[in-house]
Structure 1
Amino acid sequence: MLALALFATLVVPDRASAAAPTWQAVLAARDDESAKKKALADLQTALDAASARAEAARTSADEAGRVLGEAQAAVDEATARHEQLETRRAEARETADSARRVVGQAAALMARPGSGGMVGDLLASGDGAQEVLKGLSLSSKLGENVGRLGERAQTADNLATSLADQAAVALAERDRLAADAQAALDDAAAASVTAEADLAAVDDEKATLAAQVALLEDDRMTLEQAYAQAQAAAAAAAAAAARPAPAAGGGTGPVVPGTGGPGPGVTVPDPGTGWVAAIRSYSSYQAYGYRIHPITGEYKLHAGADFGAACGTPIYSVSAGRVSYAGPSSGYGNLIVVDHGGGVSSAYAHMERNGIYVSVGQQVQAGQNIAGVGTSGGSTGCHLHLEVRQGGVATDPVVFLASKGVR
């Protein structure tokens, strides 16, 4: 009776395209050599098809991660452009304001009884006159130069207005790109979840196919034994997928501080603010800000902070939240993004694939060990690249965390 029941229930789902035989067909083929050969060939075809589907799932997830990385890079470039325009606008506004102040000073000097109305008097008055007059071809008498000073003020004022308009356009573009990046993040997360489900299904299917091959090749094996073997293999594959792999660089996985032993998910003490440092031990540091990129040689915004540390060094979530992405992402190599609510998210990059200890949708606590340091993607050595974003826009993570009491 058990064998009949198994016949009805042990057909592997969604394998029609691979022409995989059913358990009943496999059992029947054992008594006919030509049927056995055909069944084995069909099983190999199904195995190949399953492997192809697994590869397609990984490729799809990797592509979504690449788009995410490029979308984040576009936001950072737009942020840099907006910041540069704002800086230039502020400088032009200061120039205009200074020129107007000097014009006022010149007028006051000329109106003062007994004043000779000389440029030297204006320079001696201080208040930035020397800087404003720099570069102007001036006569010695103030009255002959007020017009030029006024023109300089107007020119700077016009430039400030133009830069303000450009900055507004750049800000709108940055916000648009931030929305695109959020959509890319959602797509990448969905692709990652789908890929994980597909890979799990493929693992189950391969376990069943392998057991069917064993049933064909070993005349002594019963259907029940083959099915039990398939179930055990599938369970082992699921357990292996859920267990963090050894960290890169010869480590053994995430480390419990002070013990040297593996301990995925271990939480470091929260000082009571709800925020903690992302890494406790590091040998070098590179700040958020503009720099020459060590690989491309470009002068650009470094949208995070880098902490050099041995591969496998524990990385902690800076606060409680939900993992919105965990997987490959272009120049980041591998990336974890944690949504802390209120528009604030943190990101951790360059781990090896086996150095990610969380998955999409998982809730994590402040100080939870979510990864191990790696050197994947655009990296020149083992380090953590840490980002904090507000509304999708990068901010200095060290300054942000300091505002939360993290030192």
Structure 2
Amino acid sequence: MDTNLFRHPTFLRFWISQIASSLAFQMLTVGIGWQMYSLTNSAMHLGMVGLAQFLPQLALTLVVGHVADQYNRRTILMICRIVMAATVAVLAWGSYTQHISAGMIYACAAALGASRAFEMPSSSALLPNLVPEALLSRALALVASAREATVIAGPAIGGVVYLVGPTTLYSISVLGFLLSSLILSSLQYQYTARAKAPVSMETLLGGIRFIRRNPVILGSISLDMFAVLLGGATALLPIVAKDILHTGPWGLGLLRCAPAVGAVLMSVYLARHPLQRKVGKIMFSAVAVFGLGTIVFGLSTQLWMALSALVIMGAADMVSVVIRSTLVQLETPDEMRGRVSAANSIFIGTSNQLGEFESGVTAALLGTVPAIVVGGFGTLVIVGLWMKLFPALTARNTLEKGEP
């Protein structure tokens, strides 16, 4: 078996399409964040952008999983990215005509959240169909490294392009989503239509029930959710950049891409040296390091110190991501991957978008620095509790299906 995944043309097309879409989205986050803060000068409004993206994902969770298991996952991805391109085009028009407002940004954020609700489980469930099972862990690491590379390049490019104007930034983002959809149209994916199952609560809740019955999957997903929910501070980066570190859009771009630097370095290492033993303990250790890094970031008063803490946080988070993603995909039958991935995506959405809302509210109540530091300590508490609540995950030795 050829272990060089870049010699697998199907995987390569999928990988490139993911880069194009992720790069477009990461540029978009800088534009939306900076423009919203410029319009409102409010931490609460920044947090509400995350909530606007999260609520559609929450509302559609049961539906999108069923769709991803019943229909062509490649087609779903193509449609999602075309819809995202159209949504960002509205932001470009609003900025160009100077009709942009907080309400328009919220509406577009909600539309993006709805599109990503379908995109995330379809993408996750599609990948195991494109590569041999033995190469899945490497494939996940390579996809993760590509995504994190765009988190480096996207915000950095976005910060520079925003100096030209938000209209230019949004227009480039539109092109990225359209390019991703075009590449997917040439993907050689052998889709086998399944007999359409009737929509019922039994089928809709199948993914959630599967996760509940599997303590390893439940523990790994919920650990990541609560750790990032408490320890994530991405919604506060515009405030940290402007009011604490006294930098501009370029500094915000550096802060946003710093975690990805650590994540890319770690994911490249994991792609070459897959984890073999003590994966449970390694996962808990990585999340603890993430919490400690959050505390250091919250106490930082110099740009270099904040960037260093974020790099370490990104590397630690990547270890957790690769372990969790591999466990979820290998432990789940293909006919349920869409529903399980949808349930997983709502956990991820909770930790990211709802975490942004939590950070914004906490910062409004306590102040930016206390909110970040308290969140870091909260992550450490979660690690200790989860090691006790999920002993099967703590004791997990390997990533292979059915192995202890």
| TM-score, normalising length: structure 1 | 0.28
Higher helix share: 2
Larger radius of gyration: 1
Higher strand share: 1
| TM-score, normalising length: structure 2 | 0.28
